[in-house]
Chains A and B, each alone.
Chain A
Amino acid sequence: MSNPEKRPLRVLCVDDNELMADALRRRFDQESALAWEGTVTQGSLAYDRILEVRPDIVLMDIDMPNVDTFTIVERLYCEVPEIRVLMFSGHVSPKDIDRALDCGAWGYLSKNDDVTKLIDAITRAGRGELVFSYEVDAVRGNR
């Protein structure tokens, strides 16, 4: 994903917690490098909506009701690999991290980490880095 014109990274959020999504949208307004492309609150609509919007980054809450988000990520990775999905969760377990990596996610961010670090991680994923927030790295035993 080259970004020669320095256009903002387009981020779509998939999260059933509207409080979270709205707060993220407000915070993203302060970041000129990030553009908010909206929120999908129903997991069943996520795949179609992502294909429609074609964002650079998808911030995907792992625990969405009624869908297996890892399956959505796997499908996206096979069909539109240029869309980078970052798993986003309040629960960090080694099993979920491995599953996320193996199904095609570009990183795993914890909802418990510093906001500035989250934003930095999203930006780095846009540059082609695999990103893990601090808590995730700690669980992986990397720090």
Chain B
Amino acid sequence: MKPRTKVNILLVDDQPSKLLSLETVLAELGENVIQANSADEALKHLLSNDIAVVLVDVCMPKMDGFELAELIRAHPRFGRTAIIFISAVQLTDADRVRGYDLGAVDYIPVPIVPQVLRAKVAVFTDLYRSTRELERVNRDLEERVAELDTSNERLRFADRMATIGTLAAGLGHDMGNLLLPVRLRLDTLEAMALPVGAQDDVAAIRKAAEYLQRLARSLRLLALDPESTPNGTAEPTELAQWWRETEGMIRNGVPRHISLCAEIRDRLPAMRIDKAGLTQIVFNLVQNAGDALKNGTDGRVVVAAGHSPGADTVWLSVSDNGPGLSEEAKRRCFEPFFTTKTREFGTGLGLVLVVGLLKRAKGTLHIETSPGNGAVFKLEFPIAPRAHTGSDVRPSGRRGVAVVTLADQRMVAHVRSVLNLLEFDVRSEAPNGEGGSVDLWILEGGSHDWVNAANDFVNARPNRRAIVIGGDPSVPRDADRIVCLEQAIKPSNLRSRITSALSLQPSSTGRQVST
């Protein structure tokens, strides 16, 4: 049980001795007792303290108890403060009625019976305490109701998004299935010698089909379940490098008369998001900025990025000096199908997609905008943990060189596909002699002499690795540099297994690094 909080009792009497005797009687209640010698002093105390009950002597010079009660009641803060009159003279019924009219709650005649006084005052102090407690509970309840309203609103939104997601997935899929035949037929038509008018017709249908294709793609992306998409396994994205690779493509998102510049520092920590997702996010934001600026002059879009020392996130912003967003647009811009653009341009799904992709990457988005002052979309992404990408095998500054000598052509194709992603050039001739500039050899473990061949290869130069598919892992070898993978390795696991094998440190025998 909570400890009882003390409340204040105000005693008002012009005679100090009476104040003292009242205080003595009430001390037993364990509350705070405040004394006032006059009505003026009582009012001062009332204004500076929360008073549970006021005990007022009816007969006081200057301002009597009735007048004081009238003043107290007139103040909105004390409209319900309990007032008890103490009177040494016999009051008439008319006096009592006057007192009640002025807001008195009780009369106590003198001589005072201590038990009676304490019992009466205790009723009001307890009532005061209970009222305060009720008010507190009420405030809590109101806060909880407000929280519940917010949660309900979120739930309704999530529910709506889930329904839209299911609908979007089906619609996007079916649209795509019908649009491919349309696009194929358009190709066929365009290859024919069509009359001029028909060429225009075909071009118009192509434009419409391309819009629908974009819409279908957005719809399908909208339905992607963030939990089932593989962003967690994505290579970390280094911003400056990503920008160099995608700048040209992203520039296409804004009309030519609008300037697009980047302020992205080199050597920012890598972010945990796949490049495709990041490109999609920034392209959407840049395109929106471009659309906002397309009717004005001196339009400028800035893509900037940075990292505060010690922070575990990297920020990236897309800002423009356009007309900014209205309060309504700012509030509603993440709703599916809400758009400020004409239908020719906007699907109303761009920002919904951005948010979906951000969720996958565990990023956040913050908008700063006001009408007439442009808009800043600021994103924050978690920093990626240090990745194992074979970089300790691949020499810095150039692509690595790998040789793949496997019999199964489909396995060769898989291995090649993985090695290309890890920035290796792939050859198929077995290394002879010292093996030249080859950094990695992926070979078959079936033949008897694989150990010798692999040993010779890795020993001829430092930082070389060999991966033996189907090699018996119990065969003695330099296990840090010659890794055996099982013959029946699943192609879907190949990428993580090869990446792990390349990331083994020479001092960590047999360690498998998960990526």
Contact = CB atoms under 8 A, between A and B. Distances in A.
Interface in B402-423: 409-410, 412-414, 416-417, 421
A112 B185 contact: no
Interface string A66-102: 0000000000010001000000001111110111011
Interface in A110-141: 111-112, 115, 128-130, 132, 135, 137-141
Contacts of A138: 274, 276-277
A93 B183 contact: no
A97 B234 CA distance: 15
Given A140-B230, A141-B274, A27 B414 contact: no
In this complex, the interface size class of chain A, counting residues with CB under 8 Å from chain B, is 35 or more
A97 B229 CA distance: 12
Interface stretch (A4-12, A15-23, A34-42): A15-23
B187 A27 contact: yes
Contacts of B184: 20, 23-24, 26-27, 115
B118 interface: no
Interface of B is mostly: helix
Nearest to B191: A30
A141 B231 contact: yes
Contacts of B410: 77, 81, 104, 106, 130
A93 B225 CA distance: 10
B216 interface: yes
Interface string B44-68: 0000000000000000000000000
B362 interface: no
Interface stretch (B81-89, B171-179, B466-474): B171-179
Nearest to B409: A128
B213 interface: yes
B234 A141 contact: yes
B414 A112 contact: no
A94 B173 contact: no
In this complex, the interface size class of chain B, counting residues with CB under 8 Å from chain A, is 35 or more
B180 interface: yes
B191 A143 contact: no
B190 to A, nearest CB: 10
A142 interface: yes
B187 to A, nearest CB: 5
A128 B276 CA distance: 26
B188 A101 contact: no
Contacts of A130: 410, 413-414, 416-417
A19 B187 contact: no
Nearest to B280: A138
B278 to A, nearest CB: 10
Contacts of B491: 101-102
Nearest to B175: A90
Given A104-B410, A112-B217, A128-B413, A141 B181 contact: no
Contacts of A141: 230-231, 233-235, 274, 276
B490 interface: yes
Contact of A26 (B185, B220, B229, B421): B185
A81 B329 CA distance: 57
A100 B220 CA distance: 20
B497 interface: no
A90 B275 contact: no
Nearest to A95: B228
Interface in B208-225: 213, 216-217, 220
Contacts of A115: 180, 183-184, 187
B92 interface: no
Interface of A: 17, 19-20, 22-24, 26-27, 29-30, 77, 81, 90-95, 97-99, 101-102, 104, 106, 111-112, 115, 128-130, 132, 135, 137-143
**3 A-B pairs closest in CB distance:** A138-B276, A23-B181, A23-B184
13 contacts: A24-B181, A30-B187, A77-B410, A90-B174, A90-B177, A98-B492, A101-B490, A101-B492, A112-B180, A115-B187, A139-B229, A141-B230, A142-B421
Given A24-B184, A112-B217, 14 more contacts: A20-B180, A20-B184, A23-B182, A27-B185, A30-B188, A90-B176, A94-B229, A101-B414, A102-B492, A115-B183, A130-B417, A137-B276, A138-B277, A143-B276
